[in-house]
């Protein structure tokens, strides 16, 4: 059977999503991720009905009323508590689940591995501070770096193939990344001291092109690809609620190949390189609500794998709701891409506030002719923009490799309704590439004030504008 027959088909028209029914031929892991396989939407259903249908499928996990306090397992403030935390998690898991409690105080640790049934509860007044020594994140494990599969350093908190897991509480998770730790591996002008990720990143990219199996892509000790802060890989029923996360090495929250994820009431304040706030990648049924994002990169970036890896795995991100969030600094408020090769569909964003002179774009789509990917059925509504530096809508199909590839990306069926803005560089900035499709973008009932520049549209159809008011001001 061809690779295309072994995964969800590309979506047809908006809301009409045909699915393969060759269940006996699909791997068990794929069945787990894609279940249920019946279509969620009919072609006639309204956007709000679609959103309600998605929301009805997202349920937070429930845990037994049992606490496992890390101090009962040997944790002592000011020392490395990795072993005590691991013991508490194992005891909780073996007992059938409950809360592993990080009490008030400052606690040091290396990598934390969550197991099924465990709610890692960071109490109010508690800080779980991760030791910035790469050796604390060994052994290397299966993960992704920028959408490419590898065996790499463990994320600071990770779970692989687990069910009913959570991170909750009003405490703080501190990744301890700064200008001396983790961030210099990016190798940019701001963080340039010490080793750089460039050689490893280039080699990993070439390995994906050459079809080297992921288990042979080894990037553990002695390599410089930064780990994500929190990564749940191939998990079901995930809750992250209430915590504050700061100083991440790279991506902050990274649900990967997960089903049924809730991110609620979380505060992300992390301004390092590639510090995306929340990056659901190849996930289905995701709710992100009542969160605050103040980041060094995209606040939220929906992804589905990079280049040949993304096409080989072939699992889109779909059925995602973002609501009542605040986006401050960042490259994009809600972004799709650039690791988008598996596709993205059915994303509903509503009732958010996006406001900062350091927020580049409110809504951002990025890909190129190497990434490819189909992005469709995307809904933005009832969103208040204060200041946005560059554009309300940014489409960057000229990102990185640009037109230099055979995989032409597709963006279609995007609605932007009842959005208001106080100041922005321009309303629309679309940079298409020859052969790509950018169509079916619609603004309705919007008002934008303080717009400094006219729209920029290249290699694309212009968006439809229905009852849209634009008040221009002199460019500064």
User: What residues are annotated to the active site?
Assistant: 297, 331
Residue 328 CA to chain centroid, in angstroms?
A: 17
User: What SS3 class is residue 61?
Assistant: coil
Distance from C-alpha of 347 to C-alpha of 321, rounded to nearest angstrom: 6
Beta carbons within 8 Å of 197's beta carbon, 6+ residues apart: 185, 186, 187, 224, 225, 226
Q: Is the dihedral of CA 204, 209, 214, 215 positive or negative?
A: negative
CA distance 348 to 395: 18
Residues 6 or more apart whose CB falls under 8 angstroms from that of 17 comprise 8, 11, 39, 40, 41, 345, 346
Alpha helices in 35-178 (DSSP H): 47-56, 82-94
Q: Answer whether 355's CB lies under 8 Å from 385's CB.
A: yes
Nearest alpha-carbon partner for 344 in 384, 300, 391: 300
- The H or E element that residue 122 is part of is strand 118-122
Cα→Cα distances 179→131, 296, 320, 452, Å: 15, 13, 34, 35
Six-digit token pair at 173? 């998770």
User: Hey, is 86 helix, strand or coil?
Assistant: helix
Note the helical H segments in 276-420.
307-313
Assess whether the previous peptide bond of 416 is cis (omega < 30° from 0): no
d(CA 147, CA 41): 28
């Amino acid at each position: 059977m061809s690779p295309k027959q072994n995964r969800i088909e590309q979506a047809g028209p908006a809301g009409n999503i045909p699915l393969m029914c060759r269940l006996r031929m699909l791997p068990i892991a794929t069945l787990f991720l894609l279940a249920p396989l019946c279509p969620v939407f009919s072609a006639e259903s309204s956007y709000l009905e679609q959103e309600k249908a998605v929301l009805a499928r997202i349920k937070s996990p429930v845990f037994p009323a049992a606490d496992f306090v890390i101090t009962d397992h040997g944790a002592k403030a000011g020392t490395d508590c990795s072993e005590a935390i691991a013991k508490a998690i194992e005891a909780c898991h073996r007992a059938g689940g409950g809360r592993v409690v990080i009490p008030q105080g400052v606690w040091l640790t290396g990598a934390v591995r969550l197991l099924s049934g465990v709610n890692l509860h960071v109490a109010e007044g508690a800080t779980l501070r991760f030791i910035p020594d790469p050796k604390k994140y060994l052994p290397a494990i299966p993960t992704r770096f920028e959408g490419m599969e590898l065996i790499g350093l463990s994320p600071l908190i990770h779970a692989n193939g687990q069910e009913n897991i959570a991170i909750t509480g009003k405490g703080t998770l501190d990744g301890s990344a700064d200008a001396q730790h983790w961030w210099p591996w990016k190798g940019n002008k701001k963080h340039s001291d010490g080793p750089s990720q460039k050689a490893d990143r280039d080699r990993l990219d070439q390995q994906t092109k050459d079809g080297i199996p992921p288990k042979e892509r080894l990037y553990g000790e002695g390599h410089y690809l930064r780990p994500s802060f929190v990564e749940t890989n191939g998990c079901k029923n995930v809750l992250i609620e209430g915590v504050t996360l700061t100083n991440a090495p790279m991506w902050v929250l990274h649900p990967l190949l997960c089903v049924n994820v809730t991110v609620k009431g979380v505060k992300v304040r992390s301004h390092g390189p590639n510090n995306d706030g929340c990056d659901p990648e190849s996930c289905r049924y995701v709710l992100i609500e009542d969160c605050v994002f103040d980041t060094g990169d995209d606040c939220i970036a929906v992804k589905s794998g990079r280049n040949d890896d993304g096409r080989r795995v072939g699992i889109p991100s779909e059925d995602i709701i973002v609501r009542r969030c605040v986006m401050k600094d960042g490259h994009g408020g809600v972004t799709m891409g650039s690791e988008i090769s598996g596709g993205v569909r059915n994303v509903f964003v509503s009732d958010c506030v996006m406001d900062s002179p350091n927020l580049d774009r409110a809504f951002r789509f990025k890909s190129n002719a190497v990434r490819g990917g189909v992005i469709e059925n995307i809904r933005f509504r009832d969103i208040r923009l204060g200041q946005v530096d560059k554009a309300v809508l940014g489409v960057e199909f000229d990102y990185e490799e640009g037109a230099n590839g055979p995989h032409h990306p597709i963006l279609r069926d995007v609605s932007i309704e009842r959005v208001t803005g106080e100041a922005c560089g321009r309303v629309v900035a679309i940079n298409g590439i020859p052969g790509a499709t950018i169509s079916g973008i619609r603004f309705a009932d919007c008002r934008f004030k303080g717009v400094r520049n006219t729209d920029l549209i290249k290699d694309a159809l212009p968006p439809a504008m229905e009852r849209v008011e634009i008040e221009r001001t002199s460019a500064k």
